[in-house]
A and B are shown apart, each in its own frame.
Chain A
Amino acid sequence: MANRGEIVLRVARTCTKLNLEPCGIFSDADANSLHIKYCKEAVGIGGRLPSESYLRMDKIIDAAKKMGCELIHPGYGFLAESSEFSELCAREGFIFVGPSPAALRLSGDKAKAREVASEIAPILRGREISTETEALNLAEKIGYPVILKAVKGGGGRGLRIARSPKELSSALTSSKNEARMSFGSDRLYIEKYLEDPRHIEVQILGDGSNVIHLGERECSVQRRHQKLIEETPSPALTSAIRQKMTDTAMEIMKKMQYNNAGTVEFLFKEGRFFFMEVNARIQVEHPITEQVTGVDIVEQQLRIATSQGIDLTQKAIRTRGHAIECRINAEHPISFVPFPGTVRKFVPPEDKDVRMDTALYSGYTIPPFYDSLIAKLICFGEDRDLAIAKMKKSLIHLRISGIPTTIPFHLSALNDERFVSGNYSTSFVDKLQLFSSKDGELAAAIFALLPRKLQFLKDESTEDPWMRSRFDGIRSNYVLQHNLQSGWAK
């Protein structure tokens, strides 16, 4: 398992179920990570930054050889969508648990993937551009606003919206630089920018001969193109559109000869959907699909990778109820600045239909080198209202102390009328207002007067603040709304 944290625990669980022996790796910064304890064997690969550790293909291959591994599961992020890594695994005699190098090359080239998908699905107007003149001409033709994206990009990074030729010219330079630094390629493409869409994706399983879908996931609750809450089914789709969208997704994956678990992402607005990209990996939000379908997606990944094929038919897939995932990040709830530190106490909510995918434990010190996602809370209900109620209750009973988290954000979102009604889009977070409980205000006032010995401090001991470039100078309106409420007197 060439990854760290909760996804290693997740994959290990299925391995154990299938009588496979889960083996892992860890960086110097992860010597105390819980994922090691879930591995039958684990090898330290040194380093702290991803570029020194979980992105080092040579070290990972060496570790896999040392432990006598047969399969390599890349998880998500890091090397999960690297065609180079999947090729290297094959060359070194390992089975890569993911799609073929050819499928990864195609999905990893967003401009090419668009072109292929355009034969099947509606796409927003646009294409790859290389010069400024070409970009300006294209934008003129398709009309502003437009969005600039990195051809080799992903995960919502390096996106720029331009509303005028002037904005486009300046965005081109910064986008090129960022793309080169983040993805090692400065190829860009331009697309007509759709204002205020919903973001909906379809979970696909393909094994070379057979492609099936496991329904959709609604991912519109995002901040800076990073997903925060996902739910399935989407409250926006009628069964006719759902059918059309899932059929389209399957057609695209067939065309790409896609052979593993993957996701086709769409933008959706006013009853119409547009292909966006293919995510060629298991996704962070896969658990909600598992909760409503009962399918173990990791198990299917392993079956496909070992040429046993999917042991499910489309007809046999029955979805039931509603599932929601809240991503708990170690972030300041006002500034959204990542906040690594020591978790004093971690108590997951214990309840029926509540699942928590996490590598947290009381006393764990979150290293500042990796993603700020520390836990995924997944709640199931027989219907959407019950799932929301279950999630609210679980968030209140979940104790993560010592560090700030996005839990207050989630409670505000789940109490927002737009979320409750299901009528929300990707601009949801911009207009979100702080929600808190009245009786808690009294408790806060009393806490303020109590003497305090324990310290809540940000861990400043490490010199590399968490992915600094990604978070510099960014603020959201949520911040302001939050502050504003305290700015008002009664």
Chain B
Amino acid sequence: MKIEVNGNFYNVEVTGNKAIVDGKQIDLKLDKEEEIVIGENHYFLDFFEEGETSLMIINGFSYLVTKGVLDNAPFGELKAPIGGQIMDVFATAGDDIVRGQVLVTLEAMKMENQVKSTVKGRIKAVKVKKGQLVKGGEVLITFE
């Protein structure tokens, strides 16, 4: 199954004490429900909040995990971090953008939220317009 973790994709199958990750076999130890051992490393699942995108805290770090991402899921998208109304769009198709550039402002929970680019690239399409209501996770902008 294809799984997205913090923006990275993994193809993972688990059968018994073995996992196949992107074609490579990995031995697991699964003695306890909230602990797995991969090689020498112990991973403790301290918190798990299930959702369309789940939150996990493992060994102090947090991970956003989406299961069952379609194989043909488009790459290079900017999604709405939360549901709300588009206040403004600051980019059009073909624009070259830099990391940290504010592309969209979104009003949610009575607050203005800036949706910034975290990579450098070129805009393929802007999927939303000013005033539009969007759901959390909805694609706002795609990149080439």
Contact = CB atoms under 8 A, between A and B. Distances in A.
Contacts of A452: 33, 48
A398 B14 contact: no
B5 to A, nearest CB: 4
B58 interface: yes
A446 B36 contact: yes
Interface residues of A, number: 54
Contacts of B133: none
A80 interface: no
A488 B77 contact: yes
Contact of B65 (A399, A448, A456, A487): A448
A256 to B, nearest CB: 39
A400 B46 contact: yes
Given A398-B60, A446-B12, A447-B45, A441 B109 contact: no
Contacts of B73: 489
B124 interface: no
Contacts of A482: 62, 64
A404 interface: yes
Interface stretch (A136-144, A187-195, A432-440): A432-440
B118 A488 contact: yes
Contact of A447 (B36, B114, B115): B36
A453 B34 CA distance: 10
A155 interface: no
A356 interface: no
- Interface-central residue, B21, B74, B81, by most chain A CB under 10 Å: B81
- Interface-central residue, A437, A440, A482, by most chain B CB under 10 Å: A440
Interface string A450-490: 10111010000000000000000111010111111111111
Given A401-B46, A440-B43, A454-B34, A407 B57 contact: yes
Interface string B91-119: 00000000000000000111101111011
B29 to A, nearest CB: 11
A445 B9 CA distance: 9
Contacts of B48: 447, 452, 456
A321 interface: no
Interface in B105-144: 108-111, 113-116, 118-119, 137
B88 to A, nearest CB: 15
Contacts of B49: 332, 404, 456
Interface in A352-378: none
Contacts of B61: 408, 411, 435-437, 440
Contacts of A487: 7, 77-81, 137
A395 B60 contact: yes
B5 A441 contact: yes
Contacts of A395: 60
A259 interface: no
Contact of A473 (B3, B66, B74, B109): B109
Contacts of A433: 118
Contact of A401 (B47, B50, B82, B116): B47
A444 B81 contact: no
A478 B65 CA distance: 18
A448 B67 contact: yes
Contacts of B66: 486
Given A404-B49, A449-B12, A475-B109, A489 B116 contact: no
A405 interface: yes
Nearest to B76: A489
B54 A448 contact: yes
A436 to B, nearest CB: 4
Contact of B62 (A401, A436, A442): A436
B25 interface: no
- Interface-central residue, A333, A443, A477, A483, by most chain B CB under 10 Å: A443
Nearest to A472: B109
Given A456-B47, A475-B109, A333 B59 contact: no
A487 B6 CA distance: 8
A389 interface: no
B115 A444 contact: no
Contacts of A436: 6, 61-63
B7 A404 contact: no
- Interface-central residue, A403, A437, A440, A447, by most chain B CB under 10 Å: A447
A490 B55 contact: no
> Can you list the 9 inter-chain pairs with the closest CB atoms, starting with the nearest?
A483-B81, A487-B79, A408-B62, A443-B43, A444-B63, A401-B46, A486-B64, A436-B61, A441-B5
8 contacts: A333-B55, A399-B44, A405-B46, A407-B60, A444-B56, A446-B21, A447-B58, A473-B111
Interface of B: 1, 3-10, 12-14, 19, 21, 26, 28, 30, 33-34, 36, 38, 41, 43-50, 53-67, 73-82, 108-111, 113-116, 118-119, 137
